[in-house]
Amino acid sequence: MSHPAVELDGIWKRFPGVIANAGASLTVRPGTVHAVLGENGAGKTTLMNCLAGVYRPDEGAVRVHGVEQRFSAPADAIAAGIGMVHQEFRLVDTFTVAENVVLGAAPRVVSQRAIAGEVADLAQRFGFEADPARPVWQLSMGERQRVEILKALWRNAQVLILDEPTAVLTPQEAVEFGNVLRRMVEDGRAVIFISHKLDEVTSFCDEATVLRWGETVAAGVAIADVDVTELAALMVGEVEAAPSPDRMTEPGDVAMSVKDLTVDDARGLVAVDDVSLEVRAGEIVGIAGVAGNGQRALTDAIAGLESPRTGAISVMGIDVSDAPPQKRFAAGLAYVPEDRLGVGLAPKLPVAENAVMRAYRTLRRGPLLSWRAAREYSEQIVERFEVKVGRMDLPLASLSGGNLQRLLLGRELTSGPDVIVASQPTRGLDVAGVRAIQRLLLEQRDGGTAVLMVSEDLDELLSLADRILVMVEGRIVGEFDAHSATRTEIGEAMMGAPS
Amino acid sequence: MKQRLLLVLSILLSFTLITAACGDDESTDTADPVDNGDSGDSGDGGDGGDDGDGDGDECSRTGTVAAPVKPDDTTSEVDASGVTAAFVYLTDPGDAGWTWAHNRGAEQAAAATGATLLTVDNIAEGSPEFEQSVRDFIADGANAVFATSFGYMDAMETLSGEFPDVDFFHATGFKANDTNFGNYFGRVYQARYLTGLAAGAASASGNIGYVAAFPIPEVIRGINAFTLGVREANPDATVTVNWTSTWFDPAVEGEAAQALLDGGADVLAMHQDSTAAGERAEAACARWVSYNSDMSEFAPNAYLASAIWNWGAYYADAIESVADGSFAGGGNWPGMETGLVQIGSLADDVSDATRTLIDERSAAMIDGSWDPFTGPINDQDGNLVIADGDVPPDFGADEEGRSLLDQNWFVEGVIGSAGG
Amino acid sequence: MKKLVLVRRETPTRGGQPAAFVAGFILALGLGAILLLISGDPVWEVYTRMFERSLGSKDVMSATLNRATPLALAGLAVSIAATMGLWNIGAEGQILFGATAATFVGRIGEDWSGPVLIIAMLLGGAIGGALWAAGPGLVRAELGVSEIITTLMLNEVALRLIRYLQNGRWKDPEGLLFPVIEPRPVQSGLGTIWERAHLGVVIAFAVVAAFAWFAKHSVWGYELKIAGASPKTAAYAGISMRRKVLGVMVLSGAVAGLAGGIELTGTATRLDVNISSGFGFAGIIVAALALMRPSGVAVVALLFGAVQVGGISIQSIGVSSAVSGVLQALILFGAIGAGVLSSYRVQAVERKVVAT
């Protein structure tokens, strides 16, 4: 009888103002894909960080293949065969794929070509496509994730922790990813799979452990024995109904229009190719597409973070093509960027500093900023959008992913925008978080706001959007009525098939 | 847009270059010799071989130097045990050079008079550290402060006003009062003239090099007196000056010396604290006149003569004047008559005729009947500057700068610019 | 088998930093004692003198304040730049050029009344420092050229500029051809306010306090904080990074240049290449010790000033300048090292046995 690949036993982990893990346990058998489920703030990421050597648990035991371990640094965990792919990638942008994969674990004599070859072989063995010579900054989020997984495999990880791995994949890619997972566990590896997409959990995973409020509420449940509703119930206590997309109002006038927009990327290649689109008041327009097809450049250009080569953008009839980001915001354009921590928020700064980032210009008294007003303003956002914060003066990084997004969206919505551009607004959130964000967007729609929403979750777009535009290689290649289109139709368009 | 940025950048860069070039103004002379020195290194092998054996064979001379002249111990009849004399030095005393000479004199004077000696070194000129060090000394009971570098002058003046009970002695400056602040220096040019006699006689080529620090009157006066001596012994000889803009930088001074040697000089004189010029002369089988102290040990074959300081007697007198309260500021510029400046040992190959000439001139200077700057003296361009029989005054003279303390022109026979 | 390793604390221990400073200070004194024993200097006498001559009386305390003044301003200059992740290695050059600019103003306003001239010279110093830092700020903002290199190079340029002026343009005609610059006008001396401490002490610490307050309470300071924490986020919030980089460098240079003006009018009588005593470089250490926080700079500068004044005082009892320098460095770096260590802890871990 072999030992479990991983045993976490009675793990406690406290942070200032927050108890992240309160005696959580997890047992993962080798050769299985094990789902760890739980709401935001349930303590999944903290528990995984304890296993990956990022944190030291305050109490409790970590055993890997039966041997008790006390990791003091991620390197110790790696040496013990634990590999973790974090939600926020840890790659060196200017290095190539191969360089990132071997970084810190390269053999003494480094032959670029030999390493590139080995990395390519490794990728092929597990069914990835990866060009070892490309620099990471050129890659889409999905491609970067593959590099992260390769990194762990290169280090001969026997236990692979994947935090929200499918969030950056297309439905088709997600299915393919399932096959990769199976291949990885074939020779005895164990994969710990953190996800909120219950259908993926049921189709990819063998067993599941559910956390709630830092405790294990269900351990090692065989997936074959439960259904989606049961799992969801375990996670949130009771299942909340999906928000009803039924509209109360009809779309009004055009709130935002983008005309002939062409944007070059950092390489000078065309990222957005002559895109024109309109979003009406009270309408949600979805942009579907595989990660890395120009969505980010499109939304960044609309928000004023990228300067387009050509094209015009107007918000509520005002031409903002040359306006800086804050002028566009003042004109009624709110933006939820895809990279929340890198662009939308400053994680090193406290909550209040992040909350007033849009409004501080209105809170000034001459050259001075009233921090009392700023704090009141932040507290309103925190209250209204139900952001769970420990202490207001702690860096934002101490918040969970869902709370970060609530804060960000709350900040963008507080001023009552006419147009919201939201890029991957629910990516990486738990069921309750996803529902909350979706509900907010629907409320905004019903209140007459125009919403342009980029998502790689087709189901989400189908249930929320009125119209879906499909983006491939920077171009809008098809437009679908969300109420009548099918997954297959749209999926084919996303793969570049003529529509 | 890009072009505008490039323009901005190039303006900035040009500005940087211009300023750097301006800053270089005084050190252009150093930059050149460094280059020459580099190219000279390769030429060296061709000239005389740069390996030790070759040098040994080709150098016609193996010096057997008489015992170096070291400053004499001094004696004193006055009990100055109530005096605490504090000395502030620019550099480490080391084992030869300006600070060494002062420090040795201070030690001798303290031993002779029974005064307490306090010293501190590595105090930069014009820095706040100087003032603090002096205040520290005064707090420790110092009642005489000696500062041996020019740049301490302003702070000495301020402090002498603040501490009327302490006597302040400043070397090489020009400020003073008539109570407790005086400046002092010595007529080392007199000794330089004597070394010039030896150098002129020793130079076969008539090409003599002078590695000089900064174009200030003290250095210019030394070069002039040396040149007058050289041409007394060897009327067609010339002295080529190479400025280093350093007081102590063996690398720069060595390169400057090398440049002169590569230019054909067979005797070198110098005015810095390092022995670098002597080492280069030794390697090139040339001859060398040292300064500050008798450095014959550092280059036994090249060593020819030296102009040296003997501060012991002077400092003993100064300490005595503090002890008996007779010090009343003012300027003090003694010459060979006090023994403060001397000529060091002469190399064994200095001819008897030259030795006799040196002794004669030396005696004339000691009894005050003659000075090297007695006219007629022409400047570099051949104009008569000091009329026949005239001796320029020490200070405050006339507009042509003929007074000794602000001499800013070169005498006939010097090649180089007195402007630096 | 066990080995000891340093492990980064997830959260800094509360009150750990002051405690670590004290511990590091004591450790440094211990190491310094060993150094002094080796160099043959009297340990107790050296330490008591260092203390007595820097903090032991009103007179020496005022000297420490004077010394701390340029250190505080230089430290502030470095930490201002650091709030945006910029390294101003050129505070030294900005001090020198600030003093040069102040001298220039002094030459123009030779006949002006004292107060007017002093204010003009201090402003001139600040503007000079600002100009000296504006170049690096501009090329950093527009072309992304590392400010570390450009500011460092400009230190040498400022020094050479003073050498040039010493030997040429501004040479003192009464200096007997010595390469010294003409003294500043006599009426331009900053008055003393307490013992030997001059007015510049008040100006410097007021500037440090004003900046700390302004950074905390102004829109500008808030924008600076975001720009320093995350440039992309700043762009998202509509904060122009280019203008911030240039602005921060100019301000940083102005503060350093002011230090140059204060040194000229407060402690020096004329511009000289040694007018700064390396304050600009010491400012980097001050800022680092203050963990780049403007509010900490004042405290660290006072400590640093005391250590330097004490360090000079022991040289006059025969401690060599080299030993004194090492001792000062030990004390300061003991405290820095401890400050860094306080965010780590020592842990014994199992040494891994590698199977072959």
Interval B100-143: pLDDT, tens? 999 999 999 999 999 999 999 889 888 888 999 999 999 999 99
pLDDT of residue B13: 46
Are both B135 and B195 inside the same structural domain? no
Range of the domain at B357: 188-309+341-415
SS3 content of chain A, % helix, strand, coil (to 5): 35, 25, 35
Say if C251 falls within a structural domain: yes
Q: Is residue C16 part of a domain?
A: no
CB within 8 Å of chain C, chain A residues 349-368: 349, 353, 357-358, 360-361, 364, 367-368
Q: Is B379 among the domain residues?
A: yes
Query: Which residues partner with A419 through β-bridges?
Result: A333, A450
Return d(Cα A309, Cα A320) in angstroms, integer. Answer: 15
pLDDT band of residue B54 (cuts 50, 70, 90) is: very low
**Pair B135, B192 in one domain:** no
Per the model's pLDDT, the better-predicted residue between C279 and A122 turns out to be C279
Cβ-contact A11, A215 below 8 angstroms? no
CATH of the domain at C264: 1.10.3470
Helix, coil or strand: residue B246: coil
Q: Which of B319, B338, B357 is the last residue of a domain?
A: B338
Identify whether residues B147 and B278 lie together within a single domain.
no
* Position B229 confidence tier, pLDDT thresholds 50, 70, 90: very high
Q: How far apart are CA B136 and CA B130, in angstroms?
A: 10
Q: Which residues contact C346 (CB under 8 A, 6 or more apart)?
A: C4, C5, C6, C7
Task: Give the tokens for residue A169.
Answer: 């994949």
More confident residue, C293 or B211: B211
Q: What pLDDT is attached to residue B420? A: 61
Provide the pLDDT for residue B135: 93
pLDDT band at C95 (very low <50, low <70, confident <90, very high): very high
**What residue numbers bound the domain in which C119 lies?**
42-157+183-318
Residue A333 pLDDT: 94
The Cα of B342 is separated from the nearest Cα of chain C by a number of Å equal to: 25
Q: Where are the CATH 3.40.50.300 domain residues in chain A?
A: 6-236, 242-332+417-499
pLDDT in tens, B280-330: 999 999 999 999 888 888 888 999 999 999 899 899 999 999 999 999 988
Task: Centre a 10 Å sphere on the Cβ of residue B184 and count the other Cβ atoms it contains.
Answer: 22
pLDDT of A134 reads 86
Name C348's bridge partners.
C4
Is B54 part of any domain?
no
Q: Note whether C199 and C191 are within 8 A (CB).
A: yes
Contact B23 C270 (CB under 8 A): no
Residue type (1 letter), A157? A
With CB atoms and an 8 Å threshold, state whether B128 touches C153.
no
| B151 and B171 inside one domain | yes
pLDDT averaged over every residue in chain C = 88
User: What pLDDT is recorded for position B44?
Assistant: 39
**Do chains C and B touch by CB distance (3+ pairs < 8 Å)?**
yes
Indicate if the pLDDT at residue C323 is higher than 50.
yes
Contacts with C183 from chain B: Cβ below 8 Å: 154
| Chain A and chain C touch, per 3+ beta carbon pairs within 8 A | yes
CA-derived radius of gyration, chain C: 22
Contacts of C244 in chain A (CB under 8 A): none
pLDDT at residue B65, rounded to an integer: 56
The alpha carbon torsion through B148, B152, B158, B162 (nearest 10 deg) reads -40
- pTM score over 0.90: no
- What pLDDT is stored for residue A113 in this prediction? 80
Six token digits for residue A285:
């327009």
Query: DSSP labels for A68-110?
Result: EE--SSHHHHHHTTEEEE-SS----TTSBHHHHHHTTS--SS-
User: In the prediction, which pLDDT does A22 show?
Assistant: 86
Q: CA nearest B212: which of B200, B221, B223, B202?
A: B223
Helix-, strand-, coil-residue percentages of chain C, each rounded to 5: 70, 5, 25
Both B124 and B258 in one domain: the answer is no
Alpha carbon distance A302, A313 (integer Å): 7
Mean pLDDT of C99-126: 96
- Residue C2: pLDDT above 70? no
Q: Which CATH architecture has domain A6-236?
A: 3-Layer(aba) Sandwich (3.40)
What lies within 8 Å, CB to CB, of C260 at 6+ separation is C70, C94, C95, C96, C97, C98, C99, C100, C101, C102, C125, C128, C129, C275, C276
Same domain for B266 and B229?
yes
List, in sequence order, every residue forming a beta bridge with A319; answer none if it has no partner: A314
Sheet hosting strand A190-194, strand order edge to edge: A82-85, A159-163, A190-194, A33-38, A207-212, A215-222
Residue C206 has a CB neighbour count (10 Å cut-off) of 10
Domain assignment of residue B45, yes or no: no
β-pair type (B377-378, C2-8): unpaired
Nearest-5° Cα angle at C51, C45 to C53 = 95
Same domain, B201 and B113: no
Instruction: Supply the pLDDT for residue C8.
Output: 60
Distances (CA, A) of B237 to A390, B220, B256, B302, B349: 90, 18, 20, 19, 19
Q: Dihedral of CA A390/A396/A401/A404: which sign? A: positive
Crossing angle, helix C219-229 and helix C199-217, to 10 degrees?
70
Amino acid at C242: R
Q: Comparing A70 with C351, which gets the higher pLDDT?
A: A70
Kindly give, in sequence order, each residue whose CB lies less than 8 Å from that of residue A464, ignoring residues fewer than 6 positions away.
A245, A284, A286, A438, A441, A442, A453, A482
Q: How many domains does chain C have?
A: 1
Residues paired with residue A313 on neighbouring β-strands, in sequence order: A258
ipTM value for the complex: 0.84
Q: How many domains does chain B have?
A: 2
The one-letter amino acid at B390: D
Task: Test B118 with C272 for CB contact under 8 angstroms.
Answer: no
pLDDT digits (tens, 9 = 90+) for C137-193: 999 999 989 999 999 999 999 999 999 998 878 988 877 667 789 999 999 999 999
C53, B139: Cβ pair inside 8 Å? yes
Across the 499 residues of chain A, what is the mean pLDDT of every consecutive 10-residue run? 84 75 90 84 85 89 89 86 84 86 72 81 80 83 83 88 77 77 86 80 87 84 80 64 64 91 84 93 90 87 92 93 91 91 88 90 88 90 85 78 86 92 83 84 91 86 90 90 83 66
End-to-end CA distance of chain B: 45
Contacts of A496 (CB under 8 A, 6+ apart): A472, A473, A477
Q: Does the pLDDT of residue B2 top 60, yes or no?
A: no
Q: What CATH code is carried by the domain that includes residue B124?
A: 3.40.50.2300
Distance CA A335, CA A40 (A): 23
Cβ contact B140–C316 (<8 Å): yes
Site from C211, C214, C222 to mutate, A interface, most A CB atoms within 10 angstroms: C222
CATH number of A242-332+417-499: 3.40.50.300
Closest CA to B269 of B184, B350, B334, B194: B194
